[in-house]
Structure 1
Amino acid sequence: MQRKTVLILGANSDVAKAALLRYADKGFRMIAASRSTDELQSFVSQHQRLKELVTILYFDAANFDSHAAFYQQLPEKPHIVVYAAGYLKNNEDALLDFPGSFRMMQVHYAGAVSILNIIAMDKENVRLERIVGLSSLSGVRGRKSNFIYGSTKSAFTQYLAGLRQYLFKRRITVNVIVAGYIRSKMTAGLALPESLMLEPDFIARAVVEAGNGFIIVPGFKWKMIYTILKWMPEQLVAKLP
């Protein structure tokens, strides 16, 4: 039986690396795409089971003009696509540094729309069966502590919601992983509550085992927080950090 292929965009993130290992255990072939190809190559070389299954390619989410050529040069068209590219700028810094804010917009939203539109509109790829996007609870409600980062994740989630409807007739499933705090290199140094931290592999399991539902919130505590945030009155949201 032919192996299925998964394309992971932003494959150098901690969650994406954990997903590579999980997809390998399921026998997938993987195309791992990132700007950090040397780091990816080092990671793959440390895991014997990845060496014969992973192809590493250069991909820059913010270089929109390169996306069509990137997709056309893929060694094979994917059955599953995971968008895991991320960039974080502290909210106070982002308020004073528009290029930093714009980078988040490019990586989390504009870049995702650019490459995923290309992938979704390739109707010749009849093998495409699923698109999974890694979003954040920061995008559920606007909060004064992280509303610039959160707005980019909110836009990404809404894009995926519409894409899910658009692709429904072609029987292509679209999922969004709405994650809480992840212990990763992106959050290193931030003062986050230890009791709410999630390991990258826990999120990766949600990615790899995504079912038919659209919004997937890993972790019982974060499911509760998601529900509270979603329905909390504006007066109370304003009092949050």
Structure 2
Amino acid sequence: MNQKTNKTVLILGANSDVAKQCIIQYLERGFSVMAASRNTVSLEQFIEENHLDASKITVLHFNAEDFDSHQKFYDELPVKPHIVLYAAGFLVDNEKALKDFNGTKQMMLVNYMGAVSILNIIAMDESNTNLERIIGLSSLSGVRGRKSNFIYGSTKAAFTQYLAGLRQELSSRKIIVNALVIGYIRTKINKGLQLNESLIMEPDYVAKFIVNAGNSFIIVPNFKWKMIYYILRILPESLVAKLP
């Protein structure tokens, strides 16, 4: 059911499967959405195919890797957001990343460096009295280093630590920062990977946790993944080394 609100959410990396579901669910809650992505054509097709209210959506071009464009992007926003969601992500197979630094570099640029670049700009704009929440999509891969995905995981671990510090920095302004620590999702980024089917979450399910984020810093969707998260945190290094 639509709820009336004058609030706006800025979704960075809005072309991801989870982000698209967030667009739908924020609209259902009455938000206006600024959907930002490198692939604006795909976003416009998604809006049309799903018969979304285009009058409530502004599609913007955003490139997480183009740091020099970030200040201009922010300055030219049609309205300053109440909520910011950083959903941009990039994944390369660990073995490939070990042999080809280009894949490693792009994961660093999109998953961490691009996030820090744009979120610093947004967070430090004290003239934006609208801002009440920043949400970042992180991963269970960043909880402990494991040999199957430690390069991707390291970018997500860095992002989570950045968000933790940002939360402290913004607490005096009563701005909430959340980190969604997410397990396997049925999305295009995971297509072709050998994953445990019983643990795979649907994008719309994960989106519900994002749009309903409360005050907690770490939010882990799904009870099974929450248990895995806590086990990973306390597991001795000798046992972590035996994990794939």
Please tell me whether the aligned partners of residues 21 and 50 of structure 1 are also in contact (alpha carbons under 8 angstroms): no
Aligned to 1:183: 186
Contact kept? 2:62, 2:73, Cα under 8 Å: yes
Contact 2:180 2:219 in 1 (8 A): yes
TM-score normalised by structure 1 residue count: 0.99
1:80-99 matches, within 5 Å, as 80-99=83-102
- TM-superposed CA distance for 1:3, in Å, is 1.3
In structure 2, distance between residues paired with 1:50 and 1:233: 50
- Alignment check: 8 A CA contact 1:4 1:29 kept: yes
Identify unmatched segments of 5+ residues in structure 2.
Answer: none
State the alpha-carbon separation in 2 of the partners of residues 115 and 187 from structure 1: 25
**One-letter identity of the residue aligned with 2:61:** Y
Using the TM superposition, give the Cα deviation of residue 47 of structure 1 relative to its aligned residue in structure 2, in angstroms: 2.5
Ranges in structure 1 where 5+ consecutive residues have no aligned partner: none
The residue that corresponds to 1:118 in the other structure is 121
Report matched runs for 1:34-53 at 5 Å. Answer: 34-53=37-56
The offset of 1:193, in angstroms, is 0.6
Root-mean-square deviation (CA, aligned residues, Å) is: 0.8
- Please say which of residues 42-51 and 71-80 is displaced more in the overlay: 42-51
Structure 1 residues 1-241: aligned runs within 5 Å: 3-241=6-244
Distance in 2 between the 1:3 and 1:52 partners? 14
Distance in 2 between residues matched to 1:176 and 1:199, nearest whole Å: 18
* Higher mean C-alpha displacement, 40-49 vs 148-157: 40-49
- Corresponding letter in the other structure for 2:182: A
8 Å Cα contact 2:5/2:30 also seen in 1:
no
Per-residue deviation, 1:115: 0.1
**Alpha-carbon distance, 1:50 to partner:** 3.1
Report the alpha carbon displacement of residue 2 of structure 1 after superposing the two structures with TM. 5.6
Structure 1: which amino acid aligns with 2:89? G
- Report the alpha carbon displacement of residue 48 of structure 1 after superposing the two structures with TM: 2.6
State the identity as a percent: 63
Runs of at least 4 residues off by over 2 Å: 47-50
Preserved CA contact (<8 Å) 2:186 2:202: yes
Contact 2:5/2:31 (CA < 8 Å) preserved in 1?
no
Q: Contact between 1:91 and 1:145, CA under 8 Å: does it hold in 2?
A: yes
Paired letter, 2:10: L
- The alignment of Structure 1 onto Structure 2 pairs a total of residues equal to 241
Tell me the CA shift for residue 51 of structure 1.
Answer: 1.5
Q: Answer whether contact 1:87 1:103 (CA < 8 A) is retained.
A: yes
